Amino acid sequence: MRFSAVLGDAVLGDAMQHPTGGGGMAAGDGDAVTFAVRTAVVLAWSGLAAGYLVADRAAVLRGRTSWPAARTASWLSGALLGLVVSVGPVASAAGNSFTAHMAVHLVLGMLAPLLLVLGAPMTLVLRAVPVHAGRRLAGLAGSPPIRILTHPVTALVLSITPMALLYRDGSALALLHDPVAGPALHVHFVASGALFAYAVVGVDPQPHRASVTLRAGAILVSIAAHGMIAKHLYSLSGTAGMPDGTAAAAQLMYYGGDAVHVLLLVVFCLQVYRRTGRAGRRRAGASSSGPASGRVV
């Protein structure tokens, strides 16, 4: 599906479904802010898709080998999913249904980021830019701030802590309906989800990649924390300040989160298997090609 086919309907259709603003603004001001934010969201997702394709073309023009179609499909699928749940009918449903909101959260915070990360965007950029620019980018990726930010523990904390606060007691749920704070939360969902996916299963170069044990532990802690938050949310069903459908939303969070975590674990295990398998084959090859036994001449 082309993003240009979605662009007009996503922005204009959603604006017509929500003619009034929120957050105490006058109707006209609220409508203008909402329209501007949703337009920015559509342009952002479309820009991610278009930028990836431009980088792919630039790499070809620089004489690089062909880029794996699976990576392109993964990136474009993640961007398309992000666009679909951020604006249009799905976003409208999320404004009226806590369960629909949770579906959006799962896509933006877990599934779409994983697909984006598996698209290996940094590797593609390094193929597309001149050598000197690529060296600068590679040096930036190995800098101490980036190393700390992309550490599995840091990424896990940035992903889990805001989610726990958001669903703690319902007091912060009003932010979801704010025309500015709501999209800002969506940006956080995507950014923190992508950061965590990169930290544990990223296919782009990582000069200081964490150990397999640490990354596996981060995934297991994420599964446990996600389940605990979902169970806590379920326990709040029917209490004051919680929206209708809290129980269903909590169940979706629990089982939907598990489904994406299973996908994450499959990717992780495949990566570990490929690396250890290659190392084993190299060791076997080295031993078989060792010094030959002496021959009588």
d(CA 9, CA 138): 39
d(CA 50, CA 207): 28
pLDDT above 70 as % of the chain = 83
Nearest to 196 by CA among 250, 255, 94, 267: 267
pLDDT score recorded for residue 296 = 40
**Under 8 Å between Cβ of 89 and 173:** no
| 26 has a pLDDT exceeding 80 | no
pLDDT score recorded for residue 18 = 43
Report pLDDT digits (tens) over 210-253. Answer: 999 999 999 999 999 999 999 999 999 999 889 999 999 999 99
d(CA 89, CA 22): 18
Quickly state the pLDDT bin for 286 (edges 50, 70, 90). low
pLDDT score recorded for residue 287 = 57
| 24 has a pLDDT exceeding 70 | no
d(CA 147, CA 210): 10
Report pLDDT digits (tens) over 145-177. Answer: 999 999 999 999 999 999 999 999 988 898 888
Delimit the domains of the chain by residue range: 3-278
| 33 has a pLDDT exceeding 90 | no
Report pLDDT digits (tens) over 91-133. Answer: 889 988 999 999 999 999 999 999 999 999 999 999 999 989 9
Nearest to 28 by CA among 12, 41, 39, 15: 15
> Phi and psi (nearest 5°) for 20?
-115, 150
Quickly state the pLDDT bin for 188 (edges 50, 70, 90). very high
